[in-house]
Structure 1
């Protein structure tokens, strides 16, 4: 993929019709750094949370499917949502690009686009990402998208499953 193709990544709001995309993103190779694939029941629950988050207009966050020109189907997922981190309200982001579309700059372009969406909410100063320390590709996405590496930390994901991650932070409003 040429650089211009990655720059034409579109974020489209998550909808009820996106459950199949979530199932495709639940592949073992995509969930390896996140504790493994989820059960169908877990996926349906997560899909419901994504639909609700995308319908919410209070600035709590949004979920999106990642679309590319010329592709009939979405190529991945990305979003941002609120969390309390070290006593401060922040946004967190996470993404998944389907295996056949990886290595083309899509995740980095989508992360830049989702940062713009979070910035437009004008609610929280920071956007964090917590990729596993072993996930070189996702750590590279953070670096390319301009996030600052704060350090290693432990996160539970899924709940009850502690994992060692990097805490990456992007200042959404550096002028403040």
Structure 2
């Protein structure tokens, strides 16, 4: 389970991270709505979704997951971590999406804490960053509640041709949860 089964705390057992698989393309399609992608440049074309799905299934430095409820296994969203060069250093980056009907329950926070443990177990990077749009209140709240530290703001091109102003949140994986 890549270290994601080693939870602590009474709520942590509410979610499970399941490694992304070929049959998970439906989840990308489901989260490809104007509401779910408002802070990411809008919905992607089918070709873009297929490319992203392929990248998720073939990811070598990091891992993508489907997030499921621990009791019952119902899928609630996705999360992952991957390598990126940030300010001259190799770090992990994370991002997530929670289906609308499951938002507001703290599940993204639990998934973010679980992905921290997975990234820590995978090594070799000390830091895990998240870069939500500065105007995305819910994702910024997830970062704060999951234990990330706000370092400031940065400009990102995502997707290609679309610039966003993001907050740079970081957690030190060597310090633990």
Same-fold status (TM-score > 0.5): yes
| Structure 2 counterpart SS, 1:167 | strand
How far did residue 131 of structure 1 move?
Answer: 0.2
- 4+ residue segments displaced more than 6 Å: none
Aligned residues: 168
**Structure with the largest fraction of helix:** 1
Deviations 1:105-150, CA, capped at 9 Å, x for gaps: 0000000000000000120000000000000000000000110000
2:176 corresponds to 1:170: no
Unaligned runs of 5+ in 1: none
Q: Partner residue of 2:91?
A: 90
Shift of 1:69: 3.4
- 2:105 is aligned to 104
**Equivalent position to 1:36, from 16, 38, 42:** 42
User: Do 1:6 and 1:106's aligned partners in 2 also have CA atoms closer than 8 Å?
Assistant: no
CA distance in 2, matches of 1:52, 1:112: 23
Contact 2:13 2:70 in 1 (8 A): no
Please show how residues 132-147 of structure 1 align to structure 2 within 5 Å.
132-147=133-148
**Deviation, structure 1 residue 70:** 4.5
Structure 2 gaps, min length 5:
1-8
Q: Secondary structure at the match of 2:35?
A: helix
Is residue 66 from structure 1 mapped to residue 67 from structure 2 by the alignment? yes
* Cα distance between partner residues in 2 of 1:166 and 1:152: 4
